[in-house]
Structures are given as structure tokens and as C-alpha cells.
Structure 1
């Protein structure tokens, strides 16, 4: 594909948009009576259910349950530091291999196959966590399973994100992406409530299981594995790989795949720096978004005096709000475009985060209000970031570019934690206070990362979004 042809895929920001009432369809929709259209068809819901199911690993295992279990006193001193290094190593492998994994799926035309393989490996890793008994002897088994699960979860996500172009048009991709991301938030909370109140919290839980020998956590891992498997089956059985794109070209080895990757990146830099600039901007603000959830509970407990139970209640409310808001904002994404949604979301989060700093003495009510405002906009910004990129990618390059999307995000994942820590130090120097008394300064670090991502995003030109042309029928990539 020529550079001019590639550049033609991206429209300028100044280009006039079609009227707001322009038609918006997707392959799964069909005209109804009086010109009305039905709601999304089954392929969209099947695709979205993968997000619902995969939240078992992303939310329950990685965030709330298994990592907490693995860093408990039962596994010996230093388990938390070991966890940090193991996850950092897994992140490095993801950054190195995600683009190549996506590229090879593009070239073979078998995204559903590789989504299936990677998802099954996540299921196997989750089920294997059942054998991690609470003893230092099992620490490295748990760490290995967590690292393997993280790696293959990200590889599966690359192929899953690339499928977005098969089931949506630029006019509907916002609602489709928002539905999937919202289901992920809500599904994670539903499963968390099931395992917490059914197994972890009561002395004798479901099936007569108790906490003896860590059995409540270990059985919860089996439930997570089953949850992921069951809710992944719809997309695996519904969305087929396009026959015309299977087995294109010769099979390439790993080194040849990297040569192709570097050549494609160089071509992308020469012909469409707009996409490169978006990858950079999104990497920065996505790390800020992750920081909101990573440090939100810490600030709630340390600065505003939330108990452990109150933190969990707030976490449930925060994820529920984020999930519902993400689904609702999907329609706004389709109407005004993803860039405006991201700009709106980041601006509101910068304001709310600053409010947390200013009103840190106002009590828990202030954190509930401002914290939930932050959570309202986290999901929409994440979902719109995915749809923004989906509109820019030419057909046949989805897996590779979404692999780069994962890589750039991993490359700057230190920003929010580092900024949080730096501002804690600045706060201590400015006030002479230490510990929880100065912890509220950390939110300014998160706000700074969000603001930097917003500034980097502003010059990026969006692709026209009001069209009925299926995303995966655009001209092929380089």
C-alpha cells in the first residue's frame, strides 16, 4: 500500500462531519418496521461476554483475591516484593511478544483460533491456582501461574480487541466497545460478590468449604476458571475467522516476524505519525487511568479512614458505576467521536482528582462523591481509547497494532506509581508530615499523568466515525 493510500485512511480534524442524524448500523443489525433498526445482534453480545468472563482473572484473581492471598504471611516474608518483580517480568515479556503475537494472528487470519488458545491457557493457569497451598513451598508455583496467566491474558486481549472491527462499523463501534468494557466491570464485581460472600467471608461457605488450608481461596480459583471458560464459549463458537483471510502468505519464524514488525513500524512512522502519536498519548493517559484504581483504595483507607470492609464496598460501587457509565457513554462515542469523549473524561477526572486533594479534610462523604466521579469517567476513557484506535487501523493490521497498543501501555506503566511516590515526597517536604497525614498529595501525581496524556492527545486527529462501512472492509494494510 502506498503512503498516500495509507494517509487517505485518516481524515483531518477539520473535515466536516456528516449530520448528526446520519444512519448508524453494524453488520449484526437489520432494518426493522418503519425504517427502525433492531438492537445489537447476538455476535455483539457473544463478543461482549468474553469481557464479562475474563474479568474473573483480571479483577478477582489479579486485583482482589489471589494476589492478596499470595502476599499473606502464610507465604513467608518478602512475598509482596517477589510479586512485584514477577509481574514486572511478565509485563516485559508481554511488551516484547504482544505485537508479534498479533501480527502472526493477522497473517494467518486465525484470530478466533488464537483467542481460543490463549483463553484456554488462562483458564488452565486459573485452575492450577487451586494447588497453591498456603505455605512458602508453594510461593513460586503461585507466582509462576500468575505470571503465565497475565501473559496469555494480554495475548488473548490483543486478538479480542482486534475482533472489534469484524462486528462493528465506525458508526457503532463506540457502543459495541462500551458494551464489552462495561460488562467486564460488572462481571468482575458480580463474581467478586459470589466468591466473597459465598466462600471467603463466612466461616463455612458454599459446599461446606472453610478457610482451613486456604481452601476457600483455592476453590474460588476453580470457580474463576469455570467462569472464564463458560463466558468465553459464546464468542469462540459464534465469531468465525474470515475464510478469505486464512493462511495468507508463507508462515514466518520468530526472527522474521520481528523483521516484519520493525519494517511495519518504520512504515507507520513515515506514512501515518498520527497513529503513532495516539499510541504514545493513550499509553500515558491509560497508565493514569490504571493509577486511579490502583491507588484509590490506598487513599480511601489512609487519608479518609475507610475500613477494609468499607474499601470493598466502595470498590464494588466504583466498578458498578464505571461499568454502567461505560455502556452509556458508548452511544456518545458514536455520536460525537471517541476523541471528544476521551478529552471530556480526562478533563473531568483532572478536576475531580484535584478536588480530592483540596477537600481531603472534608471527610468520607467528599471521597465518596469525588471518587465516584473519577470512576464514572475511567471506563468511558478506556473504551473510547480502544474505539479511537480501531477506527484508525486499516484492515488486516488489527492484531499487530493492538499488540503495539499493549506494548506502549506496558512501556510507560511506571509513570503513575512513580508520580504518586514523587508527590508523596514533595508533600512531606512541603508540610513536614509523614505517613497517612501526607498521603493525599499522591493524588496530584495521578492527576499530572492524566493531564499529560490529555495534552499529548489534543493534537491527534480522529478518524471520521459517521459511516456505515464495516471497519474490517477498509483497504488492507502495509
Structure 2
């Protein structure tokens, strides 16, 4: 991680390797767009199910409280405590899901690598994600269905992460060293835009009052989940039809899920010894990626609580923020290929730290500063995420893509407590919500500093 690290001439996309490499044939655009559209296909699970609609407006709402408690006035201590218990219960389910991902992701990624079955694992995980969303149709608005809903959503998170490991690992199959940044940015951008379109459809149906349909017993939210499932199935088809399977590396023995853990430990040790920059990048990115997640996770809270946005204004801001993030991510992919992913990440993180710090000092200046700073922040989050995936793909040893991206998912989970923890700690310490902004700033800054100390191969523009 520091200047004491030994040189790494064997890095897959190091300067020497790129200069000596043969000319890569261009990947057919049909394969590139088919790969990218998978992000569009699965984004409604994150945007609609997890973040904005199903969980936040339905699963942890008073529709899952006993009737005698649900009938109490908003703000009643008994009702507030009951709602907090729902949120806590959902948190327990997602925590267990996070542990499952922590344990499974790298081993399953290695198994896919060594068997040459990344696409098959992706198909299985995508099918599981779709089935989970279909299953949410049976979560009726009754307290007895709460745990079924929470566990089902948590299982969906596991499928989503496992699918993402193999999807990311296929990036090198649909790009060349010359285009990897652009292709990675395209996928992230398509995901953001897909989430926006799905949210817009939900908003339109809500304003149309579901065309007079009887939506009691949570039927509206249950139909939304089914719609997300159908969306996932339809838009994921192009990848499985048009993107070829990545072959297994020659001379590498296959492993099953159990022996994969033994090989995983050996490979981590080898990774540290021979590809140290990749090892340290995994750790540095885990920190700043948690800060990036915090920007979106707490942006709505800041808008409503600190800057006085109404519910409609928060929703409008959320749509605008995702549109800006999607467009910026697609554009930044070209900058990635031209100037290198590290430059994009460092620039984005620097802007994020500066703008978030400014927002902290302008917390009582009205809504305009939040609109400006919030959209700038949104424009930087996506490019940093996409460039991180691109950079990791560039420095991952051949034949270890699934395993390394499994570790990428795992390290992200390991550090996922930093931003929420500092957010809560600083608010509790100083007694005002806007202090939580500094918690996010600290995490972003720490990740930026760690990244600056990671020794990476010099970018070569091909």
C-alpha cells in the first residue's frame, strides 16, 4: 500500500504488459449493450424494492402493526416504538444476509472462475432474484407476514450480490483494455436510468390512483414487486442470449464450494505477495465505497430534516439525483479510458469531500445550496463507483475475476458500518442531524487518503 511495496511487473494491465500485448479485437456492440442492459434489468430491486418504495413505504409502515397500535396517532410513543421495532427487525434480517454474502461471495466467485461457468452462476442468481420479487406478492398487509417479507427481501439481497459478482466478472469479456472504462460506465449509467424509469412508472400509477383498482391489503405494493420481477426477467434476457461464457483458465483445477475456501485462503496470501496493489485497493475501496453509499442512503434524510424539503420535493430531488448520476457515469466512462480510472476516482472523491464539507457549513442557508451541492455530489458518486469496477478489472490477475469481485463485494460488506456508524455517533454527540454530514465526509476522506497510498500500474491510453 505504501512506497515500500515491491514492483509488480506481472500485473495484468501494467504498462509493460499493455505495451507488449497483442491488438485486441473490438467486442461487438450487441454484446456490450446486452451486458450493460442487465444493470437496467436488476436496478428496480435496489431502487423500488429496497430503497424508495416496498421496504420504506410498506414493509416497515404501520400496515404491519397490530390494529390497536396502528390506530394510535402519529407521534404516539407506543406507536413510534412499534415502528422502530419493525425497522430493527428488518435490520436484523439484512444483517444476516450481509453475513451470508460475506461468507459466500468470494468462494462462489472462485468456483465460477475455475469451472468457466460465470454466466451460469449469473443466470441462477438472476432467476433467484426474480423469484424473490415474485414471492413478495404474498406479503399481505398484516403483522403475521412481516417476517416473511423481511426474510424474503434479505434473501433477494443475497441473490443480488452473488449475481453482481459474476456480472462484474464478465466485464473483461465484453471490453478491451481500451474500452473497459467506457463499458463499465455504460453499465452503471444504464442501472441508474433503469431505476429512474421504474420509479417514474410507480409515481405515475400512484398519481393515477391505480386507475380505480382496489389496492387494499397492500395490493399496490405487491403488484409493484411483481412488476419489478417481470422487468428483471425481460431485460436480463439479452445478456444470456448474446454474451458468451468466459472460459475457465487453462491448467487450473476445478473446486467445489467446500474446497474453494481452502483455495481462497491460499489465493488471498498469494494475492498479497504477488499482486499487492490489488490487495490494498480492495481495502481502500471498501472504505470510500461505504462513504459513496452513505451519500445516497442519507441524502433524503438531510433534504427533509435539515433543509426542509417536503415529501414531494424529496422524491423530485431523488429522481433528479439519479438522472444526473446516470448521465455523469456514462460520460465519465470515456474519461476513465482516456485518463485512467484512478484519476477519475481521486477527482470524484475530492469533489465529494469539498462539496459535502461546504454543505455542512451551509446547513441553515435554505434549499438552494442543497439542490446545487446535492446534484454535484450525485454526479460524482456514479463515476467513482464505475471507475472502481474498471480499475479492479484492470489489475485483477487473469482467471481470478469472479473470485476478486467476490472479495470486492465482501470487503464492501466488511466496511459497510463506517458511514452509518459515524453518522449516528456525530448526531448523537452534537444533537443535530446536520452533523451527520461530517460522518460521511470523514469516511470519504479516509478512503481517498488510503487510495492515494495504493501503488497502481501507470495508466496507458491505448
Q: What TM-score, normalized by structure 2, do the two folds share?
A: 0.90
- How far has the Cα of 1:91 moved from its partner? 0.5
1:73 to 51, 62, 81: 62
Q: 1:335 to 1:26 in 2, by over 3 A?
A: farther
- How far has the Cα of 1:439 moved from its partner? 1.1
Q: 1:170 to 1:247 in 2, by over 3 A?
A: closer
2:208 to 190, 202, 205: 202
Contact 1:391 1:465 in 2 (8 A): no
1:340 to 312, 335, 343: 343
- How far has the Cα of 1:421 moved from its partner? 1.4
1:154 to 161, 175, 194: 161
- How far has the Cα of 1:466 moved from its partner? 3.3
Any runs of at least 4 consecutive aligned residues in structure 1 with deviations exceeding 4 A, and if so which? 4-7, 10-13, 15-18, 23-26, 246-251
Task: Specify the alignment match of 2:235 in structure 1.
Answer: 231
**Structure 1 residue 211 corresponds to structure 2 residue 215:** yes
**Structure 1 residue 297 corresponds to structure 2 residue 300:** yes
**In structure 2, distance between residues paired with 1:6 and 1:360:** 46
- How far has the Cα of 1:464 moved from its partner? 4.7
Task: Specify the alignment match of 1:384 in structure 2.
Answer: 387
1:58 to 38, 43, 46: 46
Q: How do 1:351-390 and structure 2 match up within 5 A?
A: 351-390=354-393
**Cα displacement string for residues 78-107 of structure 1 (whole angstroms, at most 9, x for unaligned residues):** 211101111011011101110001000001
- How far has the Cα of 1:304 moved from its partner? 0.5
**Structure 1 residue 452 corresponds to structure 2 residue 446:** yes
Task: Specify the alignment match of 2:76 in structure 1.
Answer: none
Q: 1:245 to 1:25 in 2, by over 3 A?
A: closer
**In structure 2, distance between residues paired with 1:391 and 1:190:** 31
Q: How do 1:37-116 and structure 2 match up within 5 A?
A: 41-68=29-56, 69-76=58-65, 77=82, 78-116=85-123
1:409 to 401, 412, 424: 412
Q: 1:145 to 1:264 in 2, by over 3 A?
A: same
- How far has the Cα of 1:201 moved from its partner? 3.8
Q: 1:383 to 1:275 in 2, by over 3 A?
A: same
Question: What is the root-mean-square deviation in Å for CA atoms of aligned residues?
Answer: 2.2
**In structure 2, distance between residues paired with 1:163 and 1:443:** 36
Q: 1:278 to 1:344 in 2, by over 3 A?
A: same
**In structure 1, distance between residues paired with 2:116 and 2:214:** 47
**In structure 2, distance between residues paired with 1:251 and 1:10:** 22
**Range moving further from structure 2, 43-52 or 138-147:** 138-147
Contact 2:11 2:17 in 1 (8 A): no
Task: Specify the alignment match of 1:263 in structure 2.
Answer: 266
Task: Specify the alignment match of 1:462 in structure 2.
Answer: 456
Contact 1:107 1:248 in 2 (8 A): no
**In structure 1, distance between residues paired with 2:7 and 2:461:** 19
- How far has the Cα of 1:5 moved from its partner? 11
**In structure 1, distance between residues paired with 2:33 and 2:179:** 14
SS in 2 for 1:212: coil
- How far has the Cα of 1:427 moved from its partner? 2.4
- How far has the Cα of 1:361 moved from its partner? 1.4
**In structure 2, distance between residues paired with 1:276 and 1:259:** 18
**In structure 2, distance between residues paired with 1:373 and 1:173:** 25
Task: Specify the alignment match of 1:36 in structure 2.
Answer: none
- How far has the Cα of 1:309 moved from its partner? 1.1
**Structure 1 residue 252 corresponds to structure 2 residue 255:** yes
- How far has the Cα of 1:251 moved from its partner? 4.6
SS in 1 for 2:218: helix
SS in 1 for 2:121: helix
Task: Specify the alignment match of 2:70 in structure 1.
Answer: none
Unaligned residue ranges in structure 1 (runs of 5+): 30-40, 429-437, 469-478
